[in-house]
Amino acid sequence: MRSRTSFTLSDREVQAFAESQLDAAFRFKAAARKCTATVLYKIVLLAAARMASIFAVCRDLKGAPSDVAVLNGLRSNLPKRTQTVEARLHDGFSGQLPQRLFQRARRIAIDFHLIPYHGEPMKNANELFRSKRKSGTSNFHAYATACVVEGGYRYTLALTYVRNQESTVAVLNRLLDRVQACGLKIKSLLLDRDFFTSHVFRYLQQRQIPFLVPVVIKGRPPKNKHRRAQGLAAFRRKPAGRYRFTWKVKKISVDFDVVVTYKSYKHRKTKRRRNKVLLYAAWRVAGAPVDIREQYRKRFGIEASFRQLGQARISTCTPDPILRLFFVGVGLLLRNAWVWLHFKYFADRSGIEPTLHLERLRFRRMLNWIDKVIVSILHDGSDYITEIFVPS
């Protein structure tokens, strides 16, 4: 029988690995006698693990510097331009990628991540992205990410800050340049409905990148049910299949396939089975209609990455876009570290693709380990107390 070797992974090793990833990306220097680079890393990681603010973390640690000193230390160490911060984060993302990821082309999902913001911009109005109202505001700090959406390799490859009224093509260009700088070949792009524009299609076809996007049909349906629908709306009544289509918008003309497929579901109230038509714009993505539908379902892996980002994003009310971008990047670096640990220690890599065992180390548990280790280092072990004022 083949001998099997068992390994153990401790909480201190996980915390040290996460800290080393931050150091490899940003190379902080000491900002003050008490505010060293190591202390800065630990406080940032603890705030991310707790989803707390820098102020809340510094208040709870006896051996930590003040929140003002930590924030000043971060500002002095971080670059002054968002593009430079993105480049540092890109170095951190690419440093965690295993070599097996590059053995074949991969499916990449790209999407926007909007964080509601209720304050004023720091310098320029275009720092805030305006979109559909959510959480009581239509102002957001917006980011776009590119993520591998294949099992065992769900790494975030690129992150970029999105300004208001910035073209979707410009955002795509930055992300794709960073993905290709990693050396990863793109099998296909799985894009959200926000990317359903003729400019995006023409840009991707010029770069020879296959893509799959849901079809967005604008305008009201005709009041007369017997009137034949025109353009893309006509595909709603077609049988399942793949149809060639030429889309003409003003002076832009692009050719792609419209894939018509159907999804069966049970109505929530009537409990009856119904069919829902799904339309996809595909270019150089092969497969039957059912295969196309299942391929696009993999895009929701990037939604899972956003949910995990929410579990490791530092809470803040600062208007500084540099700090906010850094805090989002820390959450994604931690998530990439979690994916790498599973690939390295917990996955079965005997097959063509790794088989994961997520139950061995959940993301929340990893964050709790980081919390425990940093508290043991920066806290003196005394009890947490607060003053109680009794009215006389």
Residue 220: its pLDDT value, please? Answer: 64
What does the pLDDT look like over 265-281, one tens digit per residue? 888 888 888 888 999 99
344: burial class by Cβ within 10 Å (0-12, 13-18, 19+)?
middle
pLDDT at res. 198: 93
Give the pLDDT confidence score for residue 284 in this predicted structure. Answer: 96
pLDDT exceeds 80 at position 380: no
Residue 321: CB atoms within 10 Å: 19
Q: Give yes or no for residue 227 having a pLDDT over 60.
A: no
Site of tokens 């505010």: 35
d(CA 218, CA 101): 39
* In the predicted structure, residue 2 carries a pLDDT above the cut 50: no
- Please tell me the distance from the alpha carbon of residue 366 to that of residue 369, in angstroms, as a whole number: 5
Instruction: Specify whether the CB–CB gap between 193 and 160 falls below 8 A.
Output: no
pLDDT at 206: 96
- DSSP state, residue 91: H
What is the chain's mean pLDDT, rounded? 91
Can you give the pLDDT at residue 228?
Answer: 58
Work out the pLDDT band at 249, boundaries 50, 70, 90: confident
CB 277 within 8 A of CB 239: no
For 281-329, the pLDDT digits (tens) are 999 999 999 999 999 999 999 999 999 999 999 999 999 999 999 999 9
Using DSSP, state whether 121 is helix, strand or coil. coil
Q: How far apart are CA 287 and CA 281, in angstroms?
A: 13
End-to-end CA distance of the chain: 78
What does the pLDDT read at residue 381? 76
112 pLDDT band, cuts 50/70/90, is very high
Q: What are 46-105's pLDDT values in tens digits?
A: 999 999 999 999 999 888 899 999 999 999 999 999 999 999 999 999 888 999 899 999
pTM: 0.91
Whether 176 has a pLDDT exceeding 60, the answer reads yes
Burial of 19 (0-12, 13-18, 19+ CB in 10 A): buried
